[in-house]
Amino acid sequence: MDFTISRHKDIDTSPKTAMRSKSRFRRKDVFGWLLILPSLILFTFYIWEPLLENIRLSFCSAKLYTVTGFAGLDNYKAVIGDVDFMAAFRNTFSYTFWSLVIGFLVPIIMAVLISETVHGKSLFRVGVYFPNIMPTLATIWVWSYFFMPGDTGVLNILLGKLGIAPSQWLNNAHFTIPLIIITMTWKSAGSTALIYMANISGISPDLYEAATIDGASIWQRVAHITVPSIFSIARTMLILQVISVFQIMYEPMIFKNGGPGNASISLMMLMYRYLTRDYNVPKAAALSVLVSIFLVVLSIVYMSLTRDKEDKR
Amino acid sequence: MKDMKINNRKRPVFFNKYAEKKDGVIRSYDIKSPSVRAWAIIITLICFFMAIVSLFPALWLFLASFKDIKEFTREVSIIPKEFDWERMAATWKAFKFTKFYTNSLIHVLGAMVCAVLFNGLLAYGFAILKPRGYGIPLALVLWSMMIPGTAGIVALFRNINNVGLNHSFVPLWFAYGANAFYVILFKQFFEELPGELLEAARLDGCGIFRIFTDIVLPLSRPIIMVVAIFAITGAWSDFLLPYLVLNGTDKTTVMVKLFSFKDTPTDAVSVLRASFFAIIPPTIIFALFQKQITDSAATGAVKG
Nearest C-alpha neighbor of B159 from the set B132, B146, B178? B178
pLDDT tens profile A263-297:
889 998 898 888 888 888 889 889 988 988 888 88
Q: Does A295 touch chain B (CB under 8 A)?
A: yes
More confident site: B288 or A304: B288
Separation of alpha carbons B236 and B109, rounded Å: 10
A60 beta partners: A70
Query: DSSP assignment, residue B17?
Result: G
CB nearest B298 (choices: A146, A195, A275): A195
Q: Does B40 touch chain A (CB under 8 A)?
A: yes
Chain A residues closer than 8 Å to B177 by CB:
38-39, 42
More confident site: B242 or B9: B242
A311 has pLDDT over 70: no
Report the chain A residue with the minimal C-alpha distance to residue B232. Answer: A133
Separation of alpha carbons B170 and B153, rounded Å: 17
Separation of alpha carbons B219 and B120, rounded Å: 13
Q: What is the predicted pLDDT for the residue at B29? A: 79
- Confidence band, pLDDT 50/70/90 cuts, at residue B206: confident
- Confidence band, pLDDT 50/70/90 cuts, at residue B281: very high
Chain A residues closer than 8 Å to B55 by CB:
127, 130
Domain at A74-312, CATH class:
mainly alpha
Please state the rounded mean pLDDT for residues A57-67.
Answer: 83
CB nearest B24 (choices: A35, A116, A124): A116
Neighbours of A25 (CB within 10 A): 15
CB nearest A152 (choices: B74, B154, B180): B74
More confident site: A77 or B304: A77
CB pair distance less than 8 Å for B144 and A47:
yes
Q: Does A21 touch chain B (CB under 8 A)?
A: no
Return residues 266-285 of B near A (CB < 8 Å): 268, 271-272, 275-276, 278-279, 282-283, 285
Separation of alpha carbons A17 and A104, rounded Å: 48
Separation of alpha carbons B228 and B116, rounded Å: 6
A6 has pLDDT over 50: no
CB nearest B279 (choices: A138, A208, A288): A138
Answer yes or no: are the C-beta atoms of A81 and A74 closer than 8 Å.
Answer: no
B109 has pLDDT over 90: yes
More confident site: A155 or B148: A155
More confident site: B22 or B121: B121
B54 has pLDDT over 90: yes
Domain ranges of chain A: 2-57, 74-312
Three-state DSSP at A61 gives strand
- Confidence band, pLDDT 50/70/90 cuts, at residue B2: very low
B71 has pLDDT over 80: no
Residue B107 gets the label, from left (phi > 0), alpha (psi -120 to 50) or beta, of: alpha
Name which of B13, B25, B75, B226 to mutate to probe chain A: the one with the most chain A Cβ atoms within 10 A of its Cβ.
B25
> Going by C-beta distance under 8 Å and a sequence separation of 6 or more, which residues neighbour residue B123?
B182, B183, B184, B185, B186, B187, B189, B190
Three-state DSSP at B172 gives helix
Answer yes or no: are the C-beta atoms of A241 and A99 closer than 8 Å.
Answer: yes
Chain B residues closer than 8 Å to A205 by CB:
22-23, 27
CB pair distance less than 8 Å for B239 and A137:
yes
Q: What is the predicted pLDDT for the residue at B176? A: 92
Three-state DSSP at A64 gives coil
More confident site: A257 or B237: B237
User: Considering just the CA atoms, what is the radius of gyration of chain A in Å?
Assistant: 25
* Alpha carbon A135 to chain centroid, angstroms: 16
What is the nearest CA distance from B58 to chain A, expressed in angstroms?
A: 8
Q: Is the ipTM of this complex over 0.90?
A: no
CB pair distance less than 8 Å for A29 and B154:
no
Q: Does A233 touch chain B (CB under 8 A)?
A: yes
Please state the rounded mean pLDDT for residues A93-119.
Answer: 91
What is the nearest CA distance from A18 to chain B, expressed in angstroms?
A: 13
Three-state DSSP at B196 gives helix
- Confidence band, pLDDT 50/70/90 cuts, at residue B113: very high
Please state the rounded mean pLDDT for residues B172-176.
Answer: 92
Please state the rounded mean pLDDT for residues B260-289.
Answer: 87
Q: Does B33 touch chain A (CB under 8 A)?
A: no
pLDDT tens profile A184-241:
999 999 989 998 998 888 888 888 888 888 888 888 888 888 998 888 888 888 888 8
Q: What is the per-residue DSSP string for A104-162? A: THHHHHHHHHHHT--SSHHHHHHHHHHHHHS-HHHHHHHHHHHT--STTSHHHHHHHHT
CB nearest B151 (choices: A114, A154, A291): A291
Q: What is the mean pLDDT of chain A?
A: 83
Dihedrals phi, psi of A249, to nearest 5 degrees: -150, -55
Report the chain A residue with the minimal C-alpha distance to residue B44. Answer: A117
Q: pLDDT exceeding 70 applies to what percent of chain A?
A: 89
Answer yes or no: are the C-beta atoms of B243 and B161 closer than 8 Å.
Answer: no
pLDDT tens profile B77-98:
778 877 878 888 888 888 888 9
Answer yes or no: are the C-beta atoms of A313 and B179 closer than 8 Å.
Answer: no
Chain B residues closer than 8 Å to A257 by CB:
262
- Confidence band, pLDDT 50/70/90 cuts, at residue A303: confident
Answer yes or no: are the C-beta atoms of B226 and B292 closer than 8 Å.
Answer: yes
Separation of alpha carbons A37 and B137, rounded Å: 10
B19 has pLDDT over 80: no
Q: What is the predicted pLDDT for the residue at A5? A: 37
Q: What is the predicted pLDDT for the residue at A158? A: 81
**B239: part of which helix (H) or strand (E)?**
none
Q: What is the mean pLDDT of chain B?
A: 84
Q: What is the predicted pLDDT for the residue at A308? A: 62
pLDDT tens profile B24-39:
788 777 777 888 888 8
Q: Does A255 touch chain B (CB under 8 A)?
A: no
Q: Treating both helix axes as pointing N-terminal to C-terminal, what angle do A173-201 and A105-115 enclose, rounded to 10 degrees?
A: 40
- Confidence band, pLDDT 50/70/90 cuts, at residue B148: low
Q: What is the predicted pLDDT for the residue at B42? A: 92
Nearest C-alpha neighbor of B223 from the set B194, B188, B199? B188
pLDDT tens profile A124-150:
999 999 999 999 999 999 998 888 887
CB pair distance less than 8 Å for A49 and B159:
yes
Nearest C-alpha neighbor of B148 from the set A287, A140, A259, A88? A287
Q: What is the predicted pLDDT for the residue at B303? A: 39
A22 has pLDDT over 60: no
- Confidence band, pLDDT 50/70/90 cuts, at residue B300: low
A23 has pLDDT over 80: no
Q: Does B29 touch chain A (CB under 8 A)?
A: yes
Q: Does A50 touch chain B (CB under 8 A)?
A: yes
Q: What is the predicted pLDDT for the residue at A304? A: 79
Q: What is the predicted pLDDT for the residue at B12? A: 60
